[in-house]
Structure 1
Amino acid sequence: MARKYFGTDGIRGVTNRLPMTAEMAMKVGMAAGAHFVRGDHKHRVVIGKDTRLSGYMLENALVAGFTSVGMDVVQVGPMPTPAVAMLTHSMRADLGVMISASHNPFADNGIKLFGPDGFKLSDADEERIEALIDGDVPLAAAVDIGRARRVEDARGRYTHAAKMTFPTDLTLDGLKIVIDCANGAAYQVAPSALWELGADVTAIGVTPNGKNINDKVGSTAPQTLCETVVTMGAHLGIALDGDADRLIVVDENGRVVDGDQLMATIASGWARDGRLGGGGLVATVMSNLGLERHLGAQGMNLIRTKVGDRHVLEKMRTSGFNVGGEQSGHIILSDYATTGDGLIAALQVLAEIVRAQAPASEVLNRFDPVPQLLKNVRFDGGRPLEDGRVKEVIARAEEELNGTGRLVIRPSGTEPVIRVMAEGDDRGRVEEIVDRICDAVREVAE
Structure 2
Amino acid sequence: MWSTLPTEMKLAIVDVLDMDDVKNLAQVNHDTYTACLPSAFKNVNLANLQALQSFMDNVPRSYCRYIHSLELCTETTQRTMHTRSVTNIVISLLAASPCIEKLVLNTSGSLHHSIISCFGHLTRLESLSIHNSGPEEVKPLSERLVVAIAASVPNLKRLSLDRVSRSVMHAPELHGVSPYIPLVTGDDNIPDHPLLGPDLYLPSLLRLPTLRELFIRDTHLGDPRWATVPVNCKLQVVDLGSCFHENEDFNSLCIQRIMGAVGKTVDEFSLTTAVSDVVFAKPAVTPLQKLRKLHISPFFPVDSVVDTITNLAGSPIESLSMQCYPDDVVDVCAALEDFLTKRVERGAGFYEKLARIDVSVTANDMSGPLDPEEEAECKEAEQRLKELCRDLRLASRFSKTLPPSAASRLARSTGLVPTRLASHSDGRVRSMTL
| TM-score exceeds 0.5 | no
Query: Highest relative contact order (Cα 8 Å, sep 6+), 1 or 2?
Result: 1
Highest CA radius of gyration, 1 or 2? 2
- TM-score normalised by structure 1 residue count: 0.30
